[in-house]
Amino acid sequence: MRMILIGPPGAGKGTQAANLVQTYSIPHISTGDMLRTAVKQGTELGKQADVFMKAGNLVPDELVIAMVIERIGQADCDSGFMLDGFPRTRPQAVALDAALETAGAALDAVVLIEVPDAMITERITGRRSDPQTGDIYHLTFRPPPAEVADRLVQRKDDTAEACANRLAKYHKDTAPVVPFYEETGKLVRVDGVGTPAEVQLRIVAALQAVNNQAAN
């Protein structure tokens, strides 16, 4: 299964991916996580990306495309992968298409998780993550257990100001990726409002429908 999760910041891509990759036994490739690791490690890529990420701006296409193409070429991606947060611009989608075509591979599905803008700020500013396990919590919607509460961290780009910028960038740069995939017939829209478990059921049902369609 080769699939993409797209949606606005805070739509629940990371939350959903954590379970879906287990269901489908595929690696989870989150460009946000890869870039945050590069920043933390102080690599050349991390130094270049940091300034864009802090402000909630997109990291330049050429940097992200090279990072992802290299990653999906690794052996653990031979039988599939889940891309989370990529592609985020039309040039990124075109580059991914070209790389897959060269490799003789094809995408199975692109899942768009839809959440109204009005809900995004609350989700983003209340998010906390566990640096030890990578688990994602929310102070209200998914409260952390007491034993991990002290070690949780808040992302630098999870301020209300950076969130507003990320949302604006989503509408300007990433929304045009939706018609790109709609034309291929691979795009499925999933309502991202509801509990994470409810959203998960909708995604699994949508992927099942895509698989059935492909089999017929």
Q: Just list the catalytic residues.
A: 13, 88, 127, 155, 166
Alpha carbon distance, N-terminus to C-terminus of the chain: 17
Nearer to ligand AP5, 20 or 53 (CB): 53
Q: Check residue 12 for interaction with ligand AP5 (CB under 6 A).
A: yes
User: Is the separation of the CB atoms in 138 and 24 below 8 Å?
Assistant: no
Using CB under 6 A, which of the segments 53-61, 104-112, 145-153, 179-187 binds ligand AP5?
53-61
Query: How many residues lie near ligand AP5 (CB under 6 A)?
Result: 37
Residues 98-117 touching ligand AP5, rule: CB under 6 A, are none
Q: What are phi and psi of 29, to 5 degrees?
A: -110, 100
Q: Check residue 2 for interaction with ligand AP5 (CB under 6 A).
A: no
Element containing residue 143 per DSSP (H, E): none
Where residue 44 falls (left for φ over 0; alpha for ψ -120 to 50; beta otherwise) is: alpha
Least separation in angstroms between CB 213 and ligand AP5 = 26
**Tokens, residue 49:** 């990306």
Residues 158-197 touching ligand AP5, rule: CB under 6 A, are 166, 194-196
Q: Check residue 123 for interaction with ligand AP5 (CB under 6 A).
A: yes
For CA atoms 126, 57, 88, 61, the dihedral sign is negative
**Tokens, residue 197:** 């478990």
Least separation in angstroms between CB 150 and ligand AP5 = 17
| Of residues 143, 137, 175, 141, the one with CA closest to residue 155 | 137
Q: Check residue 202 for interaction with ligand AP5 (CB under 6 A).
A: no
User: Is the separation of the CB atoms in 111 and 188 below 8 Å?
Assistant: yes
Q: What are phi and psi of 206, to 5 degrees?
A: -65, -40
Q: Check residue 13 for interaction with ligand AP5 (CB under 6 A).
A: yes
Nearer to ligand AP5, 6 or 207 (CB): 6
Nearer to ligand AP5, 70 or 216 (CB): 70
Among 99, 141, 152, 180, contact with ligand AP5 (rule: CB under 6 A) = 141
Least separation in angstroms between CB 128 and ligand AP5 = 7
